[in-house]
Chain A
Amino acid sequence: MSCADPSPDPIPDRTPTLCEVFAATATDGAATGFVLAQLGPGRGPVLWVQDRVSRREGGQPYATGLASLRGRPVEVLYLEVGRAKDVLWAMEEALGCAALAAVIGEVWGDPPALDFTATKRLALRAERGGVQAWLLRRAATADLSAARERWRLGSLPSPPAPDDARAPGSPIWRAELFRARGQVPGEWVAQHDPSRGLALRHHAPLAEPRRAAG
């Protein structure tokens, strides 16, 4: 891949809002890493809500691993609920609590409860409460949603580790921003940068070439 110069950051300190992240495959850790890289320096715990299928299929968050990616302990509150409706209820309830660093919700598939109205409520509450909300979706189609940013995330083969050519190096992801309010969509190679949080390198601009092709 040709690594161009670092692009101007498409997410300069984002005001708290609702972002949706679609995982390419159910077991891919890229979406988790991407969300975690952007947690920000805020103190306070992260509320992590999962429905039962997400927990079984995607695994449960492991605080030691989260901490080793962030480089410092991460306080997590897990909530495991039965249905997508409960995930949305809990997220909405939690977004009013300014003591949280972020609220991460995982929903499996396309439940009817997760419609445009539900996402709009979440987005408004996140903006009013000042708490960043992430909606992690697996096995889902990207239909109507009021999320302010919508990403599609997948893993990319990592560069070799510096001291062991056989070993996987630092993880890189393919991050595609396919819908955003006030930003140009695009596709990037993303990476966790311990100093800045998330580093995006321009990979392939998405919007213009496709339009030109079509």
Chain B
Amino acid sequence: MSGNVIRFPARLAGAEPDPPQPSSARSPRTTAPGPSGAFPVAPPGRRFLSLHLPRFAVERRIARLARRGSLLQATTPLALLAEGTHGPVVHATNPAAEAEGVHAGMRAVDARALCPALRMEEADPRGDAEALGDLALWCRRWCPWTAVDGTGIMMDATGSAHLRGGEAALLEEVEARLARLGLNARLALAPTRGAAWALARFGGARERCAPKDLPARMAPLPVRALRIGDGTALLLRRLGLGTVGDLAAVPRLSLARRFARAEPAENPLLRLDQMMGRLAEPLHCPDDPPCFLARAVLSEPVEDPTPLLPALSDQLCTMLGARGFGARRIALTIFRSDGTVARAEAATARATRDPAHLARLFDGRLDNLDPGFGFDLLTLGATVAEPLPERQPALDGRRDEGEDLAKLVDRLSARFGPRALLRPAFHESHVPERREVPVPALGPAPPVPPPAAGRPLRLFDPPEEVRVVYAVPEGPPAQFVWRRVTHRVTRFAGPERIAPEWWRDRPGTRLRDYYRVEDHEGRRYWLYREGLPDDGRGGNPRWFMQGSFG
């Protein structure tokens, strides 16, 4: 009964979903829209610029190596490796490596066998994707609509070319600017996204295609230029359709039938329509990242920035609040009247837009900024911001203690540096100094070390060697000198043997036998003997002081 109630209105509205159909006679409704069908037609007169970066990953790595001071010769074969199912696989190569026969997708061992001089580095696909996103934003210098498009960048350059002196000049400028960044780019300008993509990869250098030449220019391109996967391209080639022109000559209806069940991205007919402008394909561009920068322009140079800070901080927090963001890292930049720039930075443990708190992070840190003849411009910017929704504090007016703590962490880290305020992070290890590793408190809270029996309250790092005055064969020394004080051992417990971690330590590391000892004055220490007398890893064992107990 309830089924009837649901089905009737649906039928009346004509929105019944297609039932599984034995014949594909009705399917062209969704897969093969004609120029006058229900689908929007591409607006005329658009110009898309496709940017193909065939060696982006490798070029990025070469630039990074150069920044670190190791210049790579162009003749050195280089391959970036990614983890494959059966060991490392070549992810990207430079032309020198390609000349040696190394290509992407090959196993690393095979590549090494082909070319023994091959230099191998680990690939960073996530970093590459981030860098490509940044590059797409950087490309907004030429036109406002840019987005990452697979492994390249797509720009909607409609109406932007004349600003650079025409389309040819625009293409030349883009290529030159990218070359200055060390990036080898192939560009094409065409009336549709699909055509621009195809020409950038399969066309000539800096190719431009006018709307009226579109069908003729596309016809000789291989079917892979349709942005379809290798599987579909292979299928088309087996059907005898080698070029876009061959495909366009096939009647629409039979193509639609053949690929009725294909994914939209793999559907050659859909891709062909997009390429030829029969089907709209808008560019989805990410928003510009928000920029939070408050500035104070002064009519006369002043020497002390401190009085200006509260107002700047207020201004910045208003900006952050309007967009629902909080600052994680802020930078105060001071532009001196003689042209030099000074900068102070501070980070926060959690996103905040509390003006008083942000201003306090610079307490005592502006004294050593040399004002020279004074400065006339001051900016306070949030260099890293995170979404921070409005929250209602507790109704009883209590303050949020976690927030208080985060603010304290910020102030202490800003004053003494982020490496001064630390939290111990627990690691599974028996070696005492590896069991807890200090990490900056500004980061996320690490696991707290759990209790373990027989561990000292304080650790001397590094352990200090003690001089044994009176050794006994078993157990700790009966008397030892540490920091020029003689200690006589009255009680001890042990040994507790901690073996070296062979998977981390270098070969030849000696084991440690730990003893809890108490000296004649009741002071309790943690001593260890490094090695055994005849373990073949050095001379006589040495004794070290590592901690003190309560």
Interface residues of A (CB under 8 A from B): 25, 27-30, 32-34, 36-37, 44-45, 47, 58-81, 86, 89-90, 93-94, 97-100, 154-158, 160-161, 164, 166-168, 171-173, 192
Does any Cβ of A come within 8 Å of B402's Cβ? Answer: yes
Expressed in whole angstroms, the minimum distance between the Cβ of A39 and any Cβ of chain B is 12
Do the beta carbons of A94 and B491 come within 8 Å of each other? no
B300 CB–A CB distance under 8 Å: no
Q: Could you write out 28 A-B pairs with CB less than 8 Å apart?
A: A25-B521, A27-B525, A27-B548, A28-B523, A29-B524, A30-B523, A45-B405, A60-B461, A61-B459, A62-B457, A63-B436, A75-B448, A77-B441, A79-B421, A80-B420, A89-B415, A93-B408, A93-B412, A97-B405, A98-B404, A99-B405, A154-B522, A155-B522, A157-B518, A157-B521, A158-B524, A167-B491, A168-B491
Q: Which of A73, A86, A172 touches B449 (beta carbons < 8 Å)?
A: A73
Minimum Cβ distance to chain A for residue B299 (Å): 36
Task: Please classify how large the interface on chain B is, using the bins under 10, 10 to 19, 20 to 34, 35 or more.
Answer: 35 or more
In contact, A64 and B548 (Cβ under 8 angstroms): no
Of A62, A98, A168, chain B has the most CB atoms within 10 Å of the CB of A62
Cβ-closest chain A residue relative to B525: A27
A171 touches B404 (CB 8 A): no
Shortest C-beta distance, B431 to chain A (Å), equals: 12
In whole angstroms, what is the CA distance A198 to B419 when docked? Answer: 34
Complex Cα distance, B408 from A32, in Å, reads: 24
Residues of A near B424 (CB, < 8 A) are 63, 76, 78
B524 to chain A, nearest CB (A): 6
Q: Which residues in B have some Cβ–Cβ distance to A below 8 Å?
A: 399, 401-402, 404-405, 407-409, 411-412, 415-416, 420-424, 432, 435-436, 438, 441, 448-461, 483, 490-493, 516-518, 520-525, 547-550
Main secondary structure of the interface of B (DSSP, over half): mixed
* Among candidates B432, B454, B458, residue contacting A68 with C-beta atoms closer than 8 Å: B454
Q: What is the CB-to-nearest-CB distance from B113 to chain A, in angstroms, rounded to a whole number?
A: 49
Contact A44:B460 (CB < 8 A) given known A28-B523, A93-B411, A171-B550: no
Cα–Cα, bound, A29→B483 (Å): 16
Q: Which residues of B contact A172 (CB under 8 A)?
A: 522
- B-chain residues with CB within 8 Å of residue A25 when the two chains form the complex: 521, 523
B193 CB, nearest partner CB in chain A, Å: 53
Distance (whole angstroms) from the CB of B283 to the closest CB of chain A: 49
Let me know if B516 and A61 touch, CB within 8 A.
no
Q: Which residues of A contact B423 (CB under 8 A)?
A: 45, 75-78
A61 to B550, CA, bound (A): 11
Known: A63-B449, A78-B438, A79-B420. A171 touches B548 (CB 8 A): no
Q: B484: shortest Cβ distance to chain A, in Å? A: 12
Known: A25-B521, A65-B458. 16 other contacts (CB 8 A): A29-B549, A32-B457, A33-B550, A66-B457, A68-B455, A73-B448, A73-B449, A77-B421, A90-B415, A94-B412, A98-B401, A99-B402, A155-B524, A157-B520, A164-B493, A172-B522
Interface contact A171-B524, CB-CB below 8 Å = yes
Contacts of A67 in B (CB 8 A): 448-452
On whether the beta carbons of A60 and B518 are closer than 8 Å, the reply is no
Query: Closest CB-CB distance, A49 to chain B, in whole Å?
Result: 9
Closest to A55 in B: B461
CB nearest to B520 among chain A residues: A157
Least CB separation from B475: chain A residue: A166
- If over half of A's interface residues share one DSSP class (helix, strand or loop), that class is named, otherwise mixed; here it is mixed
CA distance in complex: A166, B432 (Å) = 24
Q: Tell me which residues across on chain A come within 8 A of B517, comparing CB atoms.
A: 168
Other-chain contact of B457, A36, A168, A173 (Cβ < 8 Å) = A36
Q: Known A79-B420, A168-B518; judge A71-B459 contact (CB<8 A).
A: no
- Known A-B contacts A27-B483, A27-B548, A167-B493; the reply to A59 vs B524 at CB < 8 A is no
A156 to B455, CA, bound (A): 19
State A191–B227 Cα separation when bound (angstroms). 77
Q: How far is the CA of A160 from the CA of B547 in the complex (A)?
A: 21
A28 touches B548 (CB 8 A): yes
Partner of A158, one of B432, B457, B518: B518
A37 to B525, CA, bound (A): 19
Question: In the complex, A145 Cα to B415 Cα: how many Å?
Answer: 27
A64 touches B550 (CB 8 A): no
Q: Which residues of B contact A30 (CB under 8 A)?
A: 523, 550
A8 and B367 alpha carbons, distance in the complex (Å): 53
When distances are taken between beta carbons in the complex, the residues of chain A under 8 Å from B520 are 157
Interface residue from A44, A64, A66, A94 paired with B435 (Cβ < 8 Å) = A64
Question: Nearest Cβ in chain A — how far from B442, in angstroms?
Answer: 11
Docked pose: A81 CA to B416 CA in angstroms? 7
Q: Contact check, A94 vs B408: say whether CB atoms are below 8 A apart.
A: yes
Asked if residues B421 and A68 are in contact (CB atoms below 8 Å), the reply is no
Closest 5 CB pairs of A and B: A33-B550, A59-B458, A167-B493, A99-B401, A155-B522
